[in-house]
Amino acid sequence: MESTSQVPSRFYTDTTNKPFSCTVKHIPIKRIFDITFSAIALTLFFPFLIMIMLLIKFSSQGKVFYSHERVGRGGKNFACVKFRTMYPDADARLEMLLKNDPELQKEWARSYKLKNDPRVTPIGKFLRRTSLDEFPQFWNVLKGDLSVVGPRPVLQEEIDRYFKANAHKVLSVRPGLTGIWQVSGRSNTSYKTRIQMDEYYVDNRNFLLDLKLVLKTVPCMILSRGAY
């Protein structure tokens, strides 16, 4: 059994065998904050976003934006938008890499990420380290697909493989642009620990916790801890 020591004590409590109600109280001020914060962020950083779009466009072939289906609140799928960070043939490259390298297969199975990912463009590496590739997701927040703070947006494959019968808990609220995982080591944490962080957030979410996590996100972006 994996240790839970990787989860910061201020964010983790043992919820083993603790019953969970599917009825989650939604916080009106949270949605107001989401809309206001996202609108301000997109407006203030619009010139910077245009610059990123141009860098992506002229540094490699392919579209500027990339969308991937994620599972949202209530199990509803949505198109999660990002700046494109990979080459156009990324899926084919991944299939070939995993087919020919057992060690990469294990790394991919652990976290659905590769630390030295050859599919990622030079501009994409910078965007990923700083999490700027996720900036377009503020549009998802405005649409109501995401919240500024919440559990990580996950794939249906992750739900089926890792969450299984406990998925209803993290799917009872909107996924977030940032959250406990993003400020607590990110890709350096185990998948089991990630799930525990998401469950802790659902159990303990409140507006002050959201503000704390937003403030902690900024230095994590700058220092690029656990990001790849």
pLDDT band of residue 18 (cuts 50, 70, 90) is very low
* 202, 73 contact by CB (below 8 A): no
Residue 71 has pLDDT above 90, yes or no: yes
Q: Are residues 158 and 112 in contact, defined by beta-carbon separation less than 8 angstroms?
A: yes
Using pLDDT thresholds of 50, 70 and 90, give the confidence band for residue 15.
Answer: very low
**How much is the average pLDDT of 139-152?**
95
SS (H, E, C) 34-87: HHHHHHHHHHHCHHHHHHHHHHHHHHCCCCCEEEEEEECHHHCEEEEEEECCEC
Determine what percent of the chain is predicted with pLDDT higher than 70: 83
Whether the per-residue pLDDT at 41 is higher than 80: the answer is yes
Please report, as a single letter, which amino acid is at residue 75: G
* Phi and psi torsions of 57, nearest 5°: -60, -40
Contacts of 70 (CB under 8 A, 6+ apart): 77, 78, 79, 80, 153, 154, 155, 175
pLDDT level of residue 45 (50, 70, 90 thresholds): very high
Average pLDDT of 26-39?
A: 90
pLDDT at site 209: 93
Per-residue model confidence (pLDDT) at position 187: 66
Query: What pLDDT does residue 222 have?
Result: 66
112-131 pLDDT, tens digit each: 677 777 788 999 989 988 88
CB 69 within 8 A of CB 80: yes
pTM of the entire structure? 0.77
pLDDT band at 201 (very low <50, low <70, confident <90, very high): very high
Cα–Cα dist 196/16, whole Å: 10
More confident residue, 181 or 91: 181
Average pLDDT, the chain: 82
Q: Do 136 and 146 meet the contact criterion of CB atoms below 8 Å apart?
A: no
According to the model, what pLDDT value does residue 136 have? 95
